[in-house]
Amino acid sequence: MTEAAVKSKDEVTPQVSGAPKAENALEARLAALPMPKGGWSADARSEALARLRDMGLPGPRDEYWRFTDPRPFNAPEAKPLPIADGASPLFTSRDKLTLVFVDGVFDAAASDDLTLEGVEISTLKGTHDDADHWAKGIFGALEAAGQKPAARPFAALNTVAAQDGLLIRVTGTPSKPIHVLHRRASDVADVVWHHVIRVEEGAEATFLETGTVGARSNGVIEADLAKGGRLHMIAAKRAADPKVGISHVFARVDEGAALKSFVLSVNGNVMRNEAVVDMVGDDAVCHVAAAVLGDQNIGPCHHDDTVFITHGALRGESRQVFKKVLKNGATGVFQGKILVKPGAQKTDGYQISQALLLDERSQFLAKPELEIYADDVACSHGSTTGAIDEDALFYLRSRGVPRERAIVFLVLSFLADALEEVEDEGIRDEINERLDAWLTERPQI
């Protein structure tokens, strides 16, 4: 957001009758959230509050919010959402360290023991009163760095008000993935969760996240990868509960380190997932991918992926692979940017965003961007929107595969490139099987 945009905040406030002025709207938003006071994170939180007051809440005319209405996130209170029956758990075949969060707060009794070789795990809430913490230089710092050049006010709001989250320091190669399982208890929970993950030099971990967070959720992950560190993040968000959610991943990737992130999202209500990655070291690798199934038949469906990858060093490799299957008037949004700074030579940047529209009422809005200030780079982007391939459909049906099943095959086929970004074959197969089951249960998605 530019300074001019901030100044014109009053003018761009949604013109809903009785809507408060922008500043009042922000204060009302803040007043409705419980604010942690004191503790090791106090400075980071008060700096975030100053940042937030400076930028204000976004209005529908903000360039960065052109395709997604920010009002569901601006509203002071979350709208109640009934809690659906528990979805069957994912990644069951896998030995993992499961940490349960209920309405965004860590539930030690329901979780595995936090001890795991190669990693130190604590919680934001549990350590709140400690005088100091290793996460102190990271919590709110990566978020602050990611506020330029585009403002992300909900991420600043998150730092201000984060209730709980994990503080994970990976020092070796833990034998199993760390799995966060979100559960709901209250139908109005407005959850603000914030994880900090520090991957030390040469360390490697897999981080899984499943379940539904709350009636509304605001999540931030700050991931700091030291030299040669590797982090695999896989989130699977099921749509048993339609919901309003925004999340941000802020990552700093140092020399030779690799971040791989994959998000599976089925339906949702209004979802915006942002990834802001700063590749600061030479030979850094960053892959971000998502597979989205959106059907507006069971409630409003608007799914926004906004990605900003900055290449700031030599020979960086980045890939963005976003695939959305949309039906019954669902809307998919993709805003993806690759910024190559001066001197970031031999950058290899790739971005693809594709939508499969299963009817004529659904839409896909894509804004791919490249901004390049180095002269020896290979960067490409592509964006397509299409329907089911009739040739392929006929081929499958001519072999006796019923139409509905053939469409499931073609949807899985469409999503395959995104799933390929999940390195672990076992996890990838399980996601694929689950997708297959979801699609088969509900051929309409």
Partner 1 sequence: MLKIENLHVKLEEEDKQILKGLSLEVPAGEVHAIMGPNGSGKSTLSYVLSGRDGYEVTDGDATLDGESLLDMEAEERAAAGLFLAFQYPVEIPGVGNMTFLRTAVNSQRKARGEEELSSAEFLKIVRERAKELQISPEMLKRPVNVGFSGGEKKRNEILQMAMLEPRMCIMDETDSGLDVDAMRLVSEGVNALRSPDRSFLVITHYQRLLNHIKPDVVHIMSNGRIIKSGGPELALEVEENGYGDLLAEAD
Contacts with 55 (C-beta within 8 Å, 6 or more apart), sequence order: 1, 6, 147, 151, 153, 156
- Number of residues this chain uses to bind partner 1 (CB under 8 A): 25
Alpha-carbon distance of 350 to 92, in angstroms, equals: 33
Q: In the complex with partner 1, which residue's Cβ is closer, 37 or 399?
A: 399
Say if strands 166-170 and 190-199 run parallel, antiparallel, or are unpaired.
Answer: parallel
**x-or-dash string of contact with partner 1, 158-187, rule CB under 8 A:** ------------------------------
Give the range of 72-80, 100-108, 171-179, 416-424 binding partner 1 by CB under 8 A. Answer: 416-424
**Residue 399 binds partner 1, judged by CB under 8 A:** yes
**Residue 350 binds partner 1, judged by CB under 8 A:** no
**Residue 441 binds partner 1, judged by CB under 8 A:** no
Cα-to-chain-centroid distance, residue 351: 17
Q: To 5 degrees, how large is the angle CA 156–CA 158–CA 164?
A: 145
Report the chain's C-alpha Rg in angstroms.
21
**Residue 407 binds partner 1, judged by CB under 8 A:** no
Of the candidates 409, 423, 428, 442, which one interacts with partner 1 according to CB under 8 A? 409
> Which amino acid does the sequence have at 115?
T
Of the candidates 18, 129, 400, 441, which one interacts with partner 1 according to CB under 8 A? 400
**Residue 410 binds partner 1, judged by CB under 8 A:** yes
Handedness of CA 53, 72, 3, 333 (dihedral sign): positive
Of the candidates 170, 290, 307, 396, which one interacts with partner 1 according to CB under 8 A? 396
Give the range of 20-28, 113-121, 149-157, 398-406 binding partner 1 by CB under 8 A. Answer: 398-406
Give the range of 7-15, 185-193, 297-305, 411-419 binding partner 1 by CB under 8 A. Answer: 411-419
List strands edge to edge, sheet with 204-211. Answer: 105-106, 97-102, 178-183, 204-211, 230-237, 258-266, 285-295, 317-327, 348-357, 378-386
42-55 vs 153-161: helix crossing angle, rounded to 10: 150
**x-or-dash string of contact with partner 1, 351-390, rule CB under 8 A:** --------------------------------------xx
Of the candidates 35, 110, 185, 416, which one interacts with partner 1 according to CB under 8 A? 416
Are the C-beta atoms of 161 and 221 separated by less than 8 Å?
no
Alpha-carbon distance of 359 to 380, in angstroms, equals: 29
Q: In the complex with partner 1, which residue's Cβ is closer, 315 or 324?
A: 324
Of the candidates 115, 398, 425, 441, which one interacts with partner 1 according to CB under 8 A? 398
**Residue 414 binds partner 1, judged by CB under 8 A:** yes
Q: Where are the beta strands (DSSP E) in 358-436?
A: 363-372, 378-386
- Render 168-180 in DSSP notation, one character per residue: EEE-S--SS-EEE
Q: In the complex with partner 1, which residue's Cβ is closer, 339 or 445?
A: 445
**Distance of closest approach, residue 261 Cβ to partner 1, in angstroms:** 20
Q: In the complex with partner 1, which residue's Cβ is closer, 25 or 325?
A: 325
**Distance of closest approach, residue 434 Cβ to partner 1, in angstroms:** 15
Are the C-beta atoms of 178 and 210 separated by less than 8 Å?
no
**Would you give the DSSP letter of residue 221?**
E
Instruction: Report the interface residues with partner 1, using CB under 8 A.
Output: 389-392, 394-403, 405-406, 409-410, 412-417, 419
